Each structure stands twice: as structure tokens, then as C-alpha cells.
Structure 1
């Protein structure tokens, strides 16, 4: 699937674009779009969240350093059976193999304890 330039599509029509729906939080219909995306897809991408670019760059650098760790380090925080957080295979990867990586690190609340383990 080719990358979709969200600027080419108004968010009102995002659910009709091939791939995961894109919801622009500046759109006055954002709540309806989120509801529709949840009901029809179960996932959606958010744009115009209002997060400063410098914060996003910092997050990307931290994520890159996490996933570049050797497997033996990442496995220290393996997602336990029945758990929703930690390192492991992204549960939805089998549904969206071309849109999602096969490994993931899910954070619920604070990741401080996982960071200490790593």
C-alpha cells in the first residue's frame, strides 16, 4: 500500500481512504469520525493532536533506541500472557501486517518500571 498524504484528503472522508481511517482533531466532526472509525475499523490515526514537533522528535529517538536494543534486553519486559502491556508481538499485527510492525511495546499508565528493567 502506498503512503497516504493526509493533506490530500479531508478528514470527513478519511474512512473512505484505503487503509486505517485518519481523524483530524481540528475537524469539527472529530468525535463522530472517532466513533465511526472505532465501530468500523477498531483503530484510527490521529493528526493535529497539538503535540510540539520537538516532543515528537524526542519520542521517536526514544522509540528507536528501545527497538535497537538486543533481543535479550527487550525480553526483560516481555508482555505476560493475558497482559496488555510490555514488549512483544503487536496483537493486531495479524490483521494489519503491512501497516504495523511485528513487535511492539505497549505502555499503560507509566513505563518507569519497564524502563528500570531495561
Structure 2
């Protein structure tokens, strides 16, 4: 029974299969581009961008909270993380989290100003 399944596989021309796969990929890309011209698809792409930024905010928040909590525990319980000053490490974690939030917020602001449907400052 296994021979019945493996015999047709020997007759497949790999060059033709690769060519067919290439054409299928090109058709998928062309279909995606055609669908992106549709207003509904464009709106869903915009919503996907908003969702991605929400995920980035969440990841930055979780990583920053974990870093700040660990460094605060290190400061309170007696510097088990290393030789550096525990207060310095804690404040560096706070500053790093604040900078990460600031960078994401700046990118979000620029994205909204450039790609928004309203004009300029009225989006604020």
C-alpha cells in the first residue's frame, strides 16, 4: 500500500513544482495588493496597526514592570543581583521603562499625524 502512495511522488518534476509554487506566490501577492485597495481592507490594515501598537505598549509595560519590581526587590532585600548600587539599578530600570514608553508614544504620535484622516493638531 505504501508503494501506491510513493510511486506518484517519483513522477513529480521538481522544476515544474517550483515554477508552480512561484506562480502561486505571485498570485497571492497580487491578490493581497488588490484587496489592499479596497477601503474595507485598508481600514482593517489601519486597525491591525493600532492593535500592533497596543501590543507594543503592553510588552513595554510588562517588561518595564518586571524590571522595576526585580530591581526594587533587589534594593529592599540587600543587593542579590550584583555589585552595583541597588538604588542606581532601580532608577535605571525606571528611566529605561520611561524612555521605552516615550519612544513608542513618539512613534505613535508621528504615525497618527502622518497617516490620520484629520489635519494636524486637531488629532490631539
**TM-score, L = length of structure 2:** 0.20
Larger Rg: 2
User: Relative contact order (C-alpha < 8 Å, sep 6+): which is higher?
Assistant: 2
Q: Indicate the structure with greater strand content.
A: 1
TM-score, normalising length: structure 1: 0.20
